[in-house]
Amino acid sequence: MNDEPQNEQPQAEILPPHRRTGWPKGKARKLKPRPAPEKDSEFAGMTSGESWNSHCADACNIKTGCVITRAEGSGNCAHPDKGGLQAADLMRPKVLDRYNRARKYLAHLKIDKR
């Protein structure tokens, strides 16, 4: 017999890497319902796209001006995809608020197209 101590250490198991393959079986994904843009809002008819392909709201016309900048602003077109607000209109909080609401309205339209 040997006088040397025997150090037998158990070897660790080598496991294959864990790879997730999607959602667990038996659990359905719960989708949140998306709020649809209002059809009777002040921005009805406004579309997004390239500047040549986006349309202003139905209430915009030459005589009364843009819906976004009509009352307090300059009356010039402030469509978010066509150039946005001018410098003078950026100082008016009501116009800026309407502009942000128009941006959100167009964002909802883009989501609904998907």
pLDDT tens digits, 15-66: 777 766 665 666 666 777 766 655 677 888 888 876 667 788 888 888 888 8
Say which residue, 108 or 35, is predicted with more confidence: 108
0.75 exceeded by the pTM?
A: no
Residue 27 in any domain: the answer is: no
96 lies in some domain = yes
Whether 71 maps to a domain, the answer reads yes
Total of domains in the chain: 1
Q: Is residue 74 part of a domain?
A: yes
C-alpha to C-alpha distance for 52 and 84, rounded to whole angstroms = 14
Does 3 reside within a domain?
no
Spatial distance between the Cα atoms of 50 and 62, rounded to a whole number of angstroms: 21
Asked whether residue 7 is assigned to any structural domain, the reply reads no
Domain that holds residue 96: 37-114
